[in-house]
Structure 1
Amino acid sequence: MYVFLFKRYLPTAIVGDLDSLDQDSKSYYAQNGVRIERDPSQDTTDFQKCLQFLESNQTRLLGSEKYFVVVLGGYGGRLDHTLHILKVLINQCHNRKIYFLTNDNISFALPNGENFIQTTKGVDGPTCGILPLSGECTMSTKGLRWNVEDTVTSVTGLMSTSNIIDDDQFGLESLPAYCSSTYPKTPAPPHPCAGTNSSSRDFAAPSTIRSSTTLIDS
């Protein structure tokens, strides 16, 4: 995914407070026609700024197509950022699908109700966790190694971690929850600004491959 996107696309815009955007990277993208938009607000994170940019520019960038968001490397190694991202995912899960991809995992939030997740053996899994981050919830699952039925889970109580995906599709019914699954590790590609100190936190939000918008937060 990293290699495919970096080789095929330049970002439409770089959005954020730009505190971590070094001059070499800024010059590289500006020279290639990338829009650089600074939002100095300290009340929102760069991830939220990217989502707001998509919302305010949806018609111009994506037309009337319903889009989903793919975030590459967005966790960035900081626990406080990660926890805030999880909160945003839960808050947004009823509005749009947001997927986080790292070298090790794909993760996303699931809205309340019945959910079915299609998987590809050898690509997705084998392990997965389903974490109730919006409060106590009652959860039922199928398609996993250790399924539960009408089981109460919470951050301070029982949580489903290190489960195994056994079927090509698994399902669950619950209140909003956070799902994370591993996949085979692949080497990270070189950044297009090789030799610079550019941020590795890259945000892509394609509606489809033929019509996509890529954002980088800084």
Structure 2
Amino acid sequence: MTPLFRSDRPVTLIGGGDVLAVDAAAAVALAPVVMAADGGADTALALGLMPDAVVGDFDSIGDAARAAIPAERLHRIAEQDSTDFDKCLRNIDAPFVLALGFAAPRMDHALAVLSTLCRRPHPSCVVVGAADVVFAAPSRLALDLPAGARLSLMPFGRVTGTSEGLRWPIDGVELAPAERVGTSNEVTGPVRLALDGPCLVILPKEHLPAALVALQ
């Protein structure tokens, strides 16, 4: 399937949840192209950002946003079998995506976002929340993090692997969502992970730059 939106620059994707102005400014500094997921268009405009594209089923975008955004930037996908976040990710061709407004207070929405991250690892996407960032781990990952930093691994299936630089290594351990997970591990040095299976990495938000370096 040909993506609806292509960019040679990174993309800031804005959802309909709460987005702090400081987070939006920091994201746009790193990913200057702005895209919105349905009602995220209203959020983007409220932050003073004009979306280069809006994708979704358009059940939540406001009339004022529809009128303010050029019609050729509005891409409605009517099907109801996927979330607006999924619709966006599968229609972006860009170096990476920073997603804001998707760490929703509703648990079902948040879990759907995390599921989509694992299901659609390309383009690389980092979801930025109030305190943390989360992204799908590639099969090999090297992270330059300070000793003592918190690092969590959340499996979305059966995951095995090896690690360096973690207080509690994962070598010889099988992770699974309904069994053993890897929350609140601690960094002891440069982190090297080899993972076999779908897994998310969760870091404090201050380590977003390190995450982006690792994913590129």
TM-score, L = length of structure 2:
0.65
Query: Are the equivalent residues in 2 in contact too, given 1:140–1:174 (CA < 8 A)?
Result: no
Give the Cα separation in 1 of the matches to 2:181 and 2:27: 35
- Consecutive unaligned residues of structure 1, counting only runs of 5 or more, are 186-207, 209-218
The alignment covers a number of residue pairs equal to 168
| Structure 1 residue 163 displacement after superposition | 0.9
- Aligned residue for 2:6? none
Query: Are the equivalent residues in 1 in contact too, given 2:153–2:200 (CA < 8 A)?
Result: yes
- Aligned residue for 1:214? none
1:118 matched to 2:156? The reply is no
Give the Cα separation in 2 of the matches to 1:156 and 1:86: 15
Q: Secondary structure at the match of 2:90?
A: helix
Deviations 1:11-38 (A, max 9, x none): 21111122221223333434xx871222
Query: Are the equivalent residues in 2 in contact too, given 1:16–1:46 (CA < 8 A)?
Result: yes
Q: Which has the higher contact order (CA 8 A, sep 6+)?
A: 1
- Aligned residue for 1:69? 97
Q: Secondary structure at the match of 2:25?
A: helix
Give the Cα separation in 1 of the matches to 2:202 and 2:82: 24
Runs of 4+ in 1 over 6 A off after TM superposition: none
- Aligned residue for 2:47? none
TM-score, L = length of structure 1:
0.65
- Aligned residue for 2:43? none
Give the Cα separation in 1 of the matches to 2:206 and 2:96: 23
* Equivalent residue in structure 2 for 1:165, among 155, 173, 187: 187
- Structure 1 vs Structure 2 CA RMSD: 2.9
Matches within 5 A, 1:34-49: 35-49=73-87
Query: Are the equivalent residues in 2 in contact too, given 1:137–1:175 (CA < 8 A)?
Result: yes
Give the Cα separation in 2 of the matches to 1:138 and 1:182: 23
Query: Are the equivalent residues in 1 in contact too, given 2:165–2:187 (CA < 8 A)?
Result: yes
* Equivalent residue in structure 2 for 1:12, among 31, 47, 52: 52
* Equivalent residue in structure 2 for 1:156, among 171, 178, 181: 178
| Structure 1 residue 6 displacement after superposition | 5.3
Bigger Cα Rg: 1
Which of 176-185 and 9-18 deviates more? Answer: 176-185
Query: Are the equivalent residues in 2 in contact too, given 1:129–1:162 (CA < 8 A)?
Result: yes
Q: Secondary structure at the match of 1:76?
A: coil
More helix by share: 2
| Structure 1 residue 180 displacement after superposition | 0.8
AA in 2 matched with 1:44 = S
- Aligned residue for 1:84? 112
Q: Percent identity between the aligned chains? A: 24
1:100 matched to 2:127? The reply is yes
Give the Cα separation in 1 of the matches to 2:61 and 2:193: 41
Give the Cα separation in 2 of the matches to 1:27 and 1:117: 45
1:24 matched to 2:64? The reply is yes
